[in-house]
Structure 1
Amino acid sequence: MNPNRSLHKLLRIIFSEVLMEYFDISGWHDDSSKIEVWLDEKNYMERFDYKSGTVISSGFIDEKVIQEFPLRGKAVYLHVVSNYDIR
């Protein structure tokens, strides 16, 4: 099996179902000291938010980097890209 595909499957298991419901894994990088994962928000909006107008699609906004719990002694960084603004 392709090692890239294997790591992608593993990350889907490690991250919560809620995270995987709203985000796609668009890339990752693994080296001796850290694991970085890029998450792109899916183009999905709750019906309530859509009707109330509190959330609007505005294209991609600045990436946010979140440090997650370490895995196997390596720092984990999530690069999150969102395409919604909350009003």
Structure 2
Amino acid sequence: MEKQLLELILPKGLLDHFDIEKIEQGTEKDDRPFIRIHLAEKNQIPRGYNPNEYESKGFHKAKTLVDFPIRGNFVYLHIKRRRWRHKQDPKRIISNDYSHLAEGTKMTAELSAFLKDTGGDPDRIN
């Protein structure tokens, strides 16, 4: 039920690719209420790559994005993107490209830019 509610609140399609790790609610030092939603990318290798050639090697450093406030609470999305390393050439790192999520969707400019910056370039080392 929690996931269904979050699907109504979060940018469309985000939960198709990311799992909710935890949700925190609290108050900042200056008494501003907040909700922190921690998301981790699902273990789905980028389309077009052979899963026998790559292995999941953890996550890139999490990014924190500010989303629309909910009921007077500041909303922070902590997003961790997964990375895959080529088994024979460890310098070849790939990641999923989520630019399709950012196009035609109502979301913050910050989240849109983050999703467009994911790129699946195998020669790119993040």
Q: TM-score, normalised by structure 1?
A: 0.72
Deviation at 1:8, TM superposition (A): 4.3
Q: TM-score, normalised by structure 2?
A: 0.52
Deviation at 1:44, TM superposition (A): 0.9
Inter-partner Cα distance in structure 2 for 1:46 and 1:18: 16
Query: Post-superposition, which runs of at least 4 consecutive aligned residues in structure 1 deviate over 6 A?
Result: none
Gaps of 5+ in 2: 28-32, 84-93, 96-123
> Which of 17, 25, 31 in structure 1 is aligned with 2:26?
31
Bigger share in strand: 1
The structure that has the greater radius of gyration is: 2
Match of 1:21 in 2: 16
Match of 1:61 in 2: 60
Gaps of 5+ in 1: 1-5
Spell out, residue by residue over 1:8-36, the C-alpha distance to the aligned partner (whole angstroms, 9 max, x if none).
44213322341011000110011251000
Bigger share in helix: 1
Two-structure CA RMSD over aligned residues (Å): 2.3
- State, as a whole percentage, how many aligned pairs show the same letter: 35
Spell out, residue by residue over 1:37-79, the C-alpha distance to the aligned partner (whole angstroms, 9 max, x if none).
000100113422x25xxx9743212111011111112110001
